[in-house]
Amino acid sequence: MAEPLRIALAGLGTVGVGVIRLVEANAQLIARRAGRPIQITVVSARDRNKARGVDLSAYAWEDDMVILGERADVDVVVEMVGGSDGPALALARTTIEAGKALVTANKAMIAHHGLELAGKAEDQKVALKFEAAVAGGIPVIKALREGAAANEIERVYGILNGTCNFILSTMEDTGRDFADVLAEAQAKGFAEADPAFDVEGTDAAHKLSILAAIAFGAKIDFSSVDTAGITRLRAADIAQASALGYVIRLIGMAETEGGNGKTALFQRVQPHLVPVDHPLAHVDGATNAVVAEGNFSGRLLFQGAGAGDGPTASAVVADLIDIARGEVGPAFSMPVGELEALGPAATGHRQSRAYVRFMVADRPGVLAEITAALRDAGVSIESLIQKGRSGDAVMVAMVTHEGPESAISKALELLEGSESLTEPPLVLQILGE
């Protein structure tokens, strides 16, 4: 059998330790599938003395993780540190510039610096792989980059954040409000002490921008992802959606405009009402799911654990097996120089149905004011429900007929500054077929 592929591992958190356990437990199977052994030779983390539940005595220790990329006893660096910049980015640059392959689960770094790193990897003729950066153990990047490579991908969308999905599905099952369920998610380890990246949609936006680049052959444009999280959702919104035949899920969606002559890229992360008969409606807990629609393959659904030590470690080691086999290939399906620079798509003309929720003062004339603004903006109301008091306010929820998004935006502009509204309106798109 060929010489071992020698691995340096930076970061010994939950997933880093999971990689060690997987490589040790399945060493023989991995070697047979890779055509050569995969061996961890050196590790690095912030705290050398922290108890991690694995024996590190067989591995060399490097206090300065950036040096890992320059060591002579390393062929591939696995970066599990996290963060878009700082030590993780310094390590990534050093590794690739030294002519070594890089495997990372760092979606923030890839979303912000992926094109730079991919270009360096092409120059050095080494692999840059990041399967674990999107949807944990689901091999969706490999599926888009390889399995669906012959297809023109028309749309890619899905549930990309397990924390938000756990919160929303738990609110759905229990009728509890957001803050209460968030505290439970933190207690169970599904949410960080500071959950902002998850619940405000940033994590899902990082992942969506990566998927869009691969699916459409476009340059990553994270800054143009229209992002909204789940913090404003109430138990009453979940209940209202259920009564209408929907569930609420945080959906990341990307598609291009202009067909084969692509001119713009639409990217949005936002809670959506999802019909109960749609496949994504049945994705609950901390699960992720991605739908890709190809012009010949049709609808492809990928579903599985979106986080956790086992699934994410599985994705990392799958990338290592590819590298051991000599699979280099462009990080984003095609060389960086061939990726298209697509501007952000305008959204006003997009046709959809929407759920609009108002919290209003309980006094005469309020409903008439709202409906007049909607009428003047050209928004047609399909159904309207007025709920009882929530504190000093009353909830008014409605579903619109299909129409341009610009019409709802105009209606909200007409209502801006109204003393009848106790908080800004909430608008959720309804996921179509």
Catalytic residue among 207, 219, 387, 410: 207
At which residue do the structure tokens 């050093």 appear? 94
Written as six digits, the tokens of 396 are 């008014």
Written as six digits, the tokens of 200 are 């405000």
Identify the DSSP state of 291. E
Residue 306 sits at the vertex; the CA angle it makes with 356 and 116, to the nearest 5 degrees, is 95
Nearest to 6, CA basis, from 82, 60, 63: 60
For the chain, what percentages of helix, strand and coil (3-state, to nearest 5) are there?
Answer: 40, 25, 35
Written as six digits, the tokens of 13 are 């958190």
How far is 134 from 305, CA to CA, in rounded Å?
11
207 is catalytic: yes
With the CA atoms of 234, 421, 250 and 83 taken in that order, what torsion angle do they form, in degrees rounded to the nearest 10? Answer: -100
Written as six digits, the tokens of 400 are 């619109």
Number of other residues whose CB lies within 10 A of the CB of residue 50: 9
Catalytic residues: 207
